[in-house]
A = this chain, B = another copy of it.
Amino acid sequence: MARTIGSHGPRTMEAIRKAGLKLIYEHGFEAMSLRQLAAEVGIQVGSLYNHISTKQDLLFDLIRAHMDELFSQFDTAMAVVADKGPEERLRAFVAFHVTYHIVRKREVFIGASELRSLEPNHYEEIVTLRRLYERHLIAILDEGEKAGLFHCGDARVAAYGILAMLTGVCTWFRPHGRLTKEQVIAIYSQQVLGGLMGPRAP
């Protein structure tokens, strides 16, 4: 009949996004049902459709918003080192990427693992944005290479490796765990920088 008091408007949409994030992270997009989602939000299934157009669109909306946030925070973080050299900018990149992937671990995980559930148009849009992000790292590596500072072998492959290494933290890092975020950043900075700047293998 009438609406449940206190559950209205933009607050409902926010609750749907939050619950969607949680359930997709826990069960995967395909395995999450809109019944689960509605129950988590505390409304009826049909009511979801006052806020989303399809299940697919909810997924795209969440991933797209995550990409926007990623770029927004990335720009802020990199602005500080914009006029520094490649080494310092790479350090900043590592610190930013690890931090973001620890703080937004669910968004990040979904943004990678549920890509295949996006329909072609949405898929293309997100993949394009991901490539754009990768290119920022590749650009730093290229610059370092040109300056004789880094030895990448191949900037793109090196970038893929670095991104995979750093992104991995979202699968195992636990806040209040054995290591602090700063320690992880230090370890991976050393590993990445050392790998690029160290002596060449024989």
Contact = CB atoms under 8 A, between A and B. Distances in A.
Interface size class of A (residues with CB under 8 A): 35 or more
A198 interface: yes
Contact of A28 (B28, B157, B195): B28
Contact of A196 (B31, B154, B191): B191
A95 to B, nearest CB: 13
A198 B201 contact: no
A135 to B, nearest CB: 14
Interface string A131-169: 000000000000000000001111001101111111111
Q: How many subunits of this chain does the assembly comprise?
A: 4
Interface stretch (A15-23, A57-65, A182-190): A182-190
Interface in A90-129: 113, 116-117
B198 A194 contact: yes
A175 interface: no
Contact of A190 (B31, B113, B165, B200): B200
A27 interface: yes
Contacts of A1: none
A2 interface: no
Contact of A193 (B168, B184, B201): B201
A27 to B, nearest CB: 7
A10 interface: no
A197 interface: yes
A153 B198 contact: no
A191 B152 CA distance: 8
A193 to B, nearest CB: 6
Nearest to A193: B201
Given A154-B183, A198-B197, A161 B191 contact: yes
Interface in A65-101: none
